[in-house]
Chain A
Amino acid sequence: MPIFLGPQSIVTPMQLVFVQFMTGLASAASLFLVASGLSIIFGVTRIVNFAHGAFYMLGAYVAYTLTEQLSGAIGFWFALLAAAVIVAALGCLLEMVLLRRIYHAPELFQLLATFGVTLMVEDLVLLIWGPEDLVGPRAPGMSGAVVMFGKYIPTYDLFLIALGPIVLVALWLLFHRTRWGVLVRAATHDRGMVAALGINQKWLFTGVFALGVFLAAIGGALQIPRDAVNHSMDLSIIVEAFVVVVIGGLGSTTGAFLAAILVSELNAFGILVFPKISLVLVFLVMAVVLVVRPWGFFGKPQPPQATAVGNTVRPWRPLNRTELTIAGGVVLVIALLPFVLGNYALTIGSEILIFTLFAASLHLLMTVGGLASFGHAAYFGLGAYGAAFAATAFGMPMVVAILAGPVLAAFGAAIVGWFAVSLSGVYFAMLTLAFAQIVWSIAFQWVDVTGGDNGILGIWPDAFASSPSGFFWMTLAFAVPALALLQMVIFSPFGFALRATRDSELRSESIGIDRKRTQWVAFVVAGAVAGLGGALFAFLKGSVFPDFMSISVSIDGLVMVLLGGIETVLGPIVGAIVFKALSIWLISQTDYSKLVLGLAIIAMVVAFPKGIVGTLADWRAKFDARRARKLAGGVATAAVAATVLGGVVGTATGTLTDAAATDTSHRNVAHRNASHQEIDR
């Protein structure tokens, strides 16, 4: 049956398929450039550069400005190239100023720091180029179209289709036919060995980073004749690039090439097959690939490694009786707040309580389980939508609806978690992010059910919780048991097993712990608690929107955990309170809150990696050690040193103890990682 498509002509289904296929191939070119850059950078530096999407966007904006200035065919192509070179130079600067400081940090810190860069770039782009979408010029000499199978295919699309394989071959030659390329491949395999052979990795890393950023920027610059330059380019491309890299295999350019074509074609045809929820196709294919080949088409299974996000020097312990009494007192004081605070403060108070749930649930996964989820907002959002459906579509009473939230969230977490726990480290982070983005786009696109961008409105609490103080008390009544439950889980046999899987996959499995199952259960529990937070949030706001599960909410959660202290038990609660209060204040103070927040994240990662509670605990340990030394002289010192790692330390000196108790730098974290590896060998 012929389909009428615009005024141009009558199209047969075959022609439509052909046109979509060519569109998909053309889109694949830029996606391949970005994903291969991401892959190359990761291969050598082991950094998943979240800012890669930002560089793609910058490439497009700078190219737009340059094409405005330069005219003619030579001017146009020169402008694209110059834009990529300029952005690559910015990338070099970023590498030298920021990344060199955090190469030894846990990967979570690296992801967060580069996300901070993304936030800053978003606001800087807004400052420099303004909020409007910008339409660039057509490519000179390629503004026309070529007739193929009776259809017009834009010449520029054909150019892009040809460019992909050319770049693939060029990269292959670079990596196999030049010494620099061979060094890069060697460093991808074993950085330490390359250094031992007399190669200064510093410049190798910088060079690789520049190459990767160049590829991203040229990918962005090449988009300007096709699409308007806009502010959401960065996040949409980075999510697609993550999907491509997960499917193609991290570190493989050929894998990135094939996966980019696959994903672009799925997008192109998804619009035909499921016009409402086109991203579901990508989701299904990614799920299948992960089941069949967890490391992607061309990736290699990585050997099991210690995936600890941080490195706990002081063993965790549950609160003792005195501390429990103090905690009870604190809860009592919080419960009395409605008698002192006004309505606005109480509403903010409820919001903060809700986010302590969110942060604490992420903490279970991230710190206890060693699985840094970059898409935890999905379960927060599912909880909110679950409560909203229950309340509006099924007319359930509020308390039942609030409990329906965690059920939907746990259901979603069970599905995603089942796939996600077969991966770890950065793969896990990228996969959870991609899944969260898919859940977000379902909420956004499936207008009939979710209301799309307009959300679901009119979710009002019952009478007893309709006043700010009533709602605050109700939130507290849900939050305190849930937080207590999480603490109990951490110190239960299940929590110990979870920590064992975090610290050593091999050793935990060899004593009979089912790693995947343990982590999967943790994923579901964390999802359910986040969902409880989301359900409460829905009633607090009276509405739900897709934004509840946006990337920025996921990142907020990570920052809360980090701010509180990644190696601590109570950190997320403190972190959530401080972060939420600060960010609400910040948004009221400046239009460029992303710029400030991005800068704050970077500063925290570089200068303050242990967070509030971690730093306080350090001070306390130092204070205790000093007092112990005063009391018992050298004997106590040696004892403290011995408890730190339970090791060899016969002749530990005072200096050694100090160093062990106060080391806050990433360098020392790296030492401990190194010693882990040494022992594993």
Chain B
Amino acid sequence: MAAPALAAVAPPATSQLDVVKLNAFYGAAHILFDVDFTVHSGEVVALLGRNGAGKSTTFLSIMGMVARRTGTVWFDADEITALPTYEIARRGLGFVPENRRIFTDLTVEENLLVGRQAPREGAPTWEPERLYELFPNLADMRKRPGGRMSGGEQQMLTIARTLMGNPSLVLLDEPSEGLAPKIVEQMAGAILAMKREGLSILLSEQNLHFARLISDRAVIIEKGRVQFTGTLAELEARPDVRDAYLAV
């Protein structure tokens, strides 16, 4: 199973999130196989792959939301593999899940209130008013229950809610999924704004065009294994990789 002797060596200091030999299981089904990658401070990394490739499972594993997994996850030079989910979040790892998972009975304001955590050193500090600037659509519906919002508005609320925790790194699971083209553009703008604030971002995508707009580097995953790691430019130079692992 885990090889603690190997994993005990701390990763280099420039990296903020290090995933080392991550394996994940649902019951007896083996989903992730020795997944390895790094996110450096201030970087936007795209985790690319088809539906079912293991992107969401990777995120859930990092957050401690997959019950059985092996390998190591390092965050800010601390090992967080065995920590409970809430503790991982409190260390500054923000998670924006797939299919939004907003609290539909709660208003926009209340959703943000749930996400609130104390300000963190070395990470941008967010207040509801600043988030309403980042996502102007939300400003007009502060008292509206989350269940009565459009998909795009819900996606913005999910991100805003996670930012209320003042994370230093955000995991965005398919932020463009199911959104209208115009909203996708807004979303890309918001993510770039987050990057400018100094946030590191790991986002998963099936949509290469969207990833290209905002990412520095790409990690391609297929059938639970990492198939490619490199900059976006390096990926552009490898049409074979793109055609083999991404639906374009």
Contacts and interface: CB of A to CB of B under 8 A. Distances in A.
B2 to A, nearest CB: 11
Contacts of A678: 26
B86 A656 contact: no
A193 B101 CA distance: 7
Interface in A493-507: none
B28 A186 contact: no
Given A189-B104, A641-B28, A644-B28, A179 B85 contact: no
Contact of A182 (B67, B68, B114): B114
B27 A196 contact: no
A116 B170 CA distance: 45
Interface in A292-316: none
B65 A189 contact: no
A570 interface: no
A199 B95 CA distance: 13
Contacts of B26: 671-672, 674-675, 678
B1 A189 contact: no
B183 to A, nearest CB: 22
Interface stretch (B38-46, B105-113, B229-237): B105-113
Interface in A197-253: 197-201
Contacts of B90: 198
Contacts of A189: 103-106
Nearest to A196: B95
B9 interface: no
Interface stretch (A64-72, A449-457, A645-653): A645-653
A2 interface: no
Contact of A648 (B29, B63, B103): B29
A304 B116 CA distance: 32
A340 B95 CA distance: 69
B86 A198 contact: yes
Contacts of A190: 101, 103
Interface residues of B, number: 38
B151 interface: no
Given A186-B106, A190-B101, A667-B67, A197 B30 contact: no
A210 B89 CA distance: 26
Contacts, number: 110
Contact of B113 (A179, A192, A641): A179
B125 interface: no
Contacts of A641: 28
A23 B244 CA distance: 75
Interface string A654-668: 011001100000011
A617 to B, nearest CB: 17
A189 B145 CA distance: 13
A670 interface: yes
Given A186-B114, A193-B97, A671-B67, A645 B85 contact: no
A31 B84 CA distance: 38
Contacts of B105: 185, 188-189
Interface centre among A185, A192, A198 (most CB of B within 10 A): A198
A284 to B, nearest CB: 32
9 contacts: A182-B110, A194-B114, A195-B89, A197-B115, A199-B86, A648-B30, A659-B28, A671-B25, A678-B26
For the complex of A and B, 8 pairs with smallest distance between CB atoms:
A675-B26, A198-B89, A647-B29, A660-B28, A195-B85, A198-B90, A672-B27, A186-B114
Interface of B: 1, 25-31, 33, 63, 65-68, 84-87, 89-90, 95, 97, 99, 101, 103-106, 110-111, 113-117, 161-162, 165
Interface of A: 179, 182-183, 185-186, 188-190, 192-201, 641, 644-645, 647-652, 655-656, 659-660, 667-668, 670-672, 674-675, 678, 681
